[in-house]
Chain A
Amino acid sequence: MNVLNFVHAFFSDGAHWHGYDGIPTRVWEHIQFTLEALAIAAAIGLPVGLVTGHYGRGGNVLALIATAGRALPSFGLLVLLFILLGFGVVPVMIPLVVLAIPPILVTTYEAVRSVDPSPVDAARGMGMQESRILFRVEFPVALPLILSGLRSAAIQIVSTATIAAYVSLGGLGRYIIDGLYQRNYEKVVGGATLVAVMALVTLALFWAVARFTVSPGVRRSA
């Protein structure tokens, strides 16, 4: 009950809706960081995952990268890079991208590798080129899994971009970090609510994208 009162107080205060520390500004900042990091990570992870998955090689190396990526504490990396490189977007972007690459890479690899080999052989028998096999046969079948990899990467970025407010990044984490220092619990809980809503919206967004892009035939067999 207590928390709900705080949430209500935070959102009904008109002062929280304007200016550089207003809710619209902070939400937009958060979206920008998330999209930027996700785009960079996808630009690296997707091609590598698709090619290695197509040829079915390098699985052990990718598993190693994934374990290493998970073992590296993203928050620790964030603070360390901030101390080493100083204030800026780069020390925040690097950990976010490092965090997001393993799920994209490994899921894409597994998705393409585990496509049923008989349609792939059929496509090859019909004389399709390797690149066309990859994009016309394997990719559509693997798409649900590939999207799930992107989804978990996106959610991790949203969540870690919140923590990045500790090293002076804008975004929704500002409310939580500032609120904790100011002992303003209303602000803390308001920020937490916004972040949680944002993560759930991300989840819903990916669900909707999967709904529209995954071919009905693939969806039925899944």
Chain B
Amino acid sequence: MPYVPFSLRYRPQTFADIIGQEHVSRTLQNAVASGRVVHAYLFAGPRGTGKTSTARVLAKALLCDKGPTPEPCGECSLCRAITDGRALDLIEIDAASNRGIEQIRELREKVRYSPAEARAKVYILDEVHMLTPEAFNALLKTLEEPPGHAYFVLATTELHRVPPTIISRCQLFEFHLIGEARIEAALQAIAGSEGVQADPEALQEIARAARGALRDAESIFDQAVAYAGGRITVDLAREVLGVTPRDAVVDLLKAMAENDLASTLSRLDELVASGKDLPQLLQDIMLAVRDMLRASLGVGTSEEWEELADPARDIGSERLAETLRLLGEAERRLRDATQQQVSLELSLAQIAQTWAQPSAREKARAMVTQPRQAPTGPAPRRLETPAAAQPRRSATVEAASDKPSKAESEPEPASAPKAAPSTLAPAASSSASQGPSPVSADELAARWEEVHLQLKRMRRVAVWALLQEAKPVSLEGDIVTIQFDPKWKFHSERLGGPYRADVEQALSRVLGRPVQVRCLLGDVLTTPTPAPASQASKPKQEALPTAIQTAEAEDAGPQAEAQDEKDEKQDKKGIVEEPESEASAAAEKTVSAPKSPSQSDDDAIQRAVELTLQLFEDSEELPPE
């Protein structure tokens, strides 16, 4: 006797057997019981959720010798014929392979004939969305006025491809995905019937992999039974599924979230050593990150990746959205790479770095509030490179902590204002106390190419062209000096004049901090020496945009995020409570004429965020049209 797969052997035979579609079963049973069966039904929903099975059970209910009955006997000749697939009056048509008008015309002709053995005829048109428009039109007439003895059940996985005219002539039922627990229970029942021993975790793994489709779960289970030859363990189930062990992906992502590159790479090594297929691993990571993104947005996450919900909220939707893009790019690179592991290692390291760095919003806030932490003297700040930027986690973790912040615990300069608790204060003061690593002129020269690239990204092509003739000379405090050969007077004048802001913006982005530019034509200064940006007397109104430009520079995926906004509110609160120094108060006044200090802060931050986002827009690269 030929082998019958589980999905067919355990196909529902009554309405009670149909899992997860109680809304459909109940309505159809009531319809049969009350004689309110309509002549055309449309079952729509994902594959493997019971559309065709329900249609067959409905056919039994209508055609059963003891019916029409909501509970077909399953024993009469008609019920048995339907179960065996040999009932003359249950006509199943695969619309995917009978999609033309001729086939539908033929159907229309045959519909008129009385049933052969039952009281009615039931037509099941599977994958009905595959019909041609002409065939749909031909079907329309039949659906409008079907003979009294004919019932139609149309089934589709793609409702949007079914014309509205057809939908409006049918009673539509949407089939839902089946919950993991119910799939697991169904598999358990099959295992019991078959005398197969299976670990609950193995069934859970299969249920998860089926993603709501019972038929898929049954097929996978079938494979696992055939493969195992004995007890089905979770490892065996994963082997059959070809998925990366969940724990391994969780550990890998946790290591990345902690910016622990060594651990990240060693976990990747372990996976590779265990023979894991790298493209498949990348897909698994993508799935996990997608769930993390959902968790960070508060949409809820699947049980599978529950452990990653907290890191996800910590990382934030902004970075996670960016991560998805990076993974998308990684997938492309992986396909072309001769050294796939190296390619994946680089991608993961890049993502870990993205997660460790502050987001655009955080940076904008930090920059806006920074003058408060060092408001007193004109002493120039040391340069801060992106690599030396305060890691995101230290800021957020400390902010969340109940312990006194570093700003509170450290002695303050005599002239400094007394800092009130603020989510940003610890990061800023910590940064200031450690001191950013300086960028030497040589290093600036080494990164000169990046400045060019940055200008291209900003689409400032003219500025980029003019800058070709310049060379970086020195970096003193916040001032970058660039030099032109005397024959490039025009270039020097333009870059020192109307295009100066663009060059400053590009430089600020590359260096990760606001800087200003002066131009030399030979040895002659063509621009006035700007005042140091960090000087307290510098009006905040001027300082803001540059600061924001810097903050925006490294983060190409700004996403509003609930936690960020919450933090932002807390930040604002913290700032408001902070007493003003004379210098910063003066700076505030230049921004606007606020009614109160808190209003002023709010406005300043709002303006800062707006400018950040505007700058992002200006510099965004679109693919070529």
A and B from one complex: no
Binding site for B on A (CB under 8 A): none
Binding site for A on B (CB under 8 A): none
